[in-house]
Structure 1
Amino acid sequence: MWSWLSVALSGFISISASESNQKMQAAVFKTLTMFMLVVMLWSQESLVGLAVWWVTLGLIISALADSLYLFNKHKRLCFSAYIGAQLCYSTSFWQQLSGEIVWWLPAMLLAIGIVVFFLMLPKIDKLIFPVVIMGMMLLQLNWAAGEVWLFSGTVSGSLGFLGTIILTLSAGLLAVHDYRHPIAFGRYLISGSYLLAHALITASLII
């Protein structure tokens, strides 16, 4: 319990610092938040496997991407890092599967993704290519986590799936907030949901 409270407090400080334009403090506490999630993963002696390694790598890459984003540097590297982190998370879910693929799930996710894309198209007309690339990556991440949830039917599986859905929502809000028009309390909503998504994906391996 105290570990999760520490993660929440560190995340809140990073969000508040970002809102106050204290970029260094925001970067330090966001990195600390990711590091604490890594420590929580590896403090579970029973957790040994490729999934833990992939999630750990995803958290580390996410911390790098967040720092680049906060300081508005190396935008292409920042975008690639976010894609890399999502790929690490999806790999951690895919390697947990051993049964048959449920094809209605990707079909449903793809249909929802297409509808959302066309609804957002007037707001992201200049960002179509990066949005499509990230959307495809997030779609397969949602698919992988959803497959694990359907296959296992456990609480941990549902947490992982929920985490990937929230991560997708956060990315969509970020695209609109940064590149089209600001959303009321957008930074708190985007950053809060982003950190919650990472915490849920981590929790899916711990709980």
Structure 2
Amino acid sequence: MWSWLSVALSGFISISASESNQNKQAAAFKTLSMVMLVVMLWSQGTSLGLSAWWITLGLLISLLADNLYILNKQKKLCFASYIAGQLCYSTSFWTQLSGEIVWWLPAMLLAIGIVVFFLMLPKIDKLLFPVVIMGMMLLQLNWAAGEVWLFTDTTASLVGFLGTLTLTLSAALLAVHDYRHPIAYGRYLISGSYLLAHSMITATLII
């Protein structure tokens, strides 16, 4: 419990520092939050499999993307890092699957994604290509986590699935807030939901 509270506190300090334009402090505390998630993952007494390595890699790559974003450097590398981090997370879920795929789940996610895309289109018209790429990556991440939940039907897998959906929500809020129309308390909502998503995805192998 204290470990999770430490992650949340560090994340809150990072957001507050970013709002105050103290970017180096924000990057330092964001790094601390992500590193603590990695430590929590590997400090368990049980043996971890391949999924843990993929989640660890996803956390570290996402950490790189976060710092580039906070410091406003290398925007193309920042975007590519976000995509790579999501790919690592999805791989961690895909490696847990065996057997037949439930096809109604991706169909439902795709339908919801198309509706949301057209609703957001007037707000993100200048970001069409990156939004489509990010959307496709998040869609398959949601699909992978959802398949694991349907296959295992455990609380941990449900937390992971909800974590990927939260990550998708955070990305959508970011696109609107940064590039079209500022949202009230947007930075706290975006960064808070983003850290919560990473924590929930990590928690799939902890709880």
Map of 2:44 onto structure 1 = 44
Matched, 1:72 2:72: yes
Map of 1:155 onto structure 2 = 155
- Partner Cα separation in structure 2 for residue 176 and residue 47 of structure 1: 41
Aligned-pair Cα RMSD in Å:
0.6
Instruction: Provide Cα deviations, 1:64-93, integer angstroms capped at 9, x if missing partner.
Output: 000000111110000000000000000000
8 A contact 1:18–1:26 mirrored in 2: yes
- Partner Cα separation in structure 1 for residue 127 and residue 105 of structure 2: 27
What's the TM-score, normalizing by structure 2?
Answer: 0.99
8 A contact 1:61–1:85 mirrored in 2: yes
Matched, 1:172 2:172: yes
Map of 1:17 onto structure 2 = 17
Map of 1:205 onto structure 2 = 205
- Partner Cα separation in structure 2 for residue 11 and residue 158 of structure 1: 23
Shift of 1:99: 2.1
Shift of 1:36: 0.1
Instruction: Provide Cα deviations, 1:9-28, integer angstroms capped at 9, x if missing partner.
Output: 11111111111111000000
Map of 1:60 onto structure 2 = 60
Q: Which amino acid aligns with 1:127?
A: L
Map of 1:146 onto structure 2 = 146
- Partner Cα separation in structure 2 for residue 8 and residue 151 of structure 1: 30
Shift of 1:45: 2.6
- Compare 84-93 and 15-24 and name the one that shifted more: 15-24
Q: Which amino acid aligns with 2:74?
A: H
Instruction: Provide Cα deviations, 1:22-62, integer angstroms capped at 9, x if missing partner.
Output: 10000000011000000000001314211000000000001
Instruction: Provide Cα deviations, 1:133-174, integer angstroms capped at 9, x if missing partner.
Output: 000000000000000000010000000000000000000000
Shift of 1:4: 0.7
8 A contact 1:164–1:197 mirrored in 2: yes
- Partner Cα separation in structure 1 for residue 126 and residue 20 of structure 2: 28
Map of 1:29 onto structure 2 = 29
- Partner Cα separation in structure 2 for residue 205 and residue 145 of structure 1: 13
8 A contact 1:41–1:47 mirrored in 2: no
SS of the aligned residue for 1:122 comes to helix
- Partner Cα separation in structure 2 for residue 169 and residue 48 of structure 1: 29
For residues 2-13 of structure 1, the aligned pairs below 5 Å read 2-13=2-13
8 A contact 1:99–1:151 mirrored in 2: no
* Structure 1 stretches lacking a partner, 5+ long: none
Runs of 4+ in structure 1 displaced over 2 angstroms? none
SS of the aligned residue for 2:139 comes to helix
SS of the aligned residue for 1:182 comes to coil
* Structure 2 stretches lacking a partner, 5+ long: none
What's the TM-score, normalizing by structure 1?
Answer: 0.99
- Partner Cα separation in structure 1 for residue 6 and residue 65 of structure 2: 22
Q: How many residues matched?
A: 207
- Partner Cα separation in structure 2 for residue 70 and residue 5 of structure 1: 23
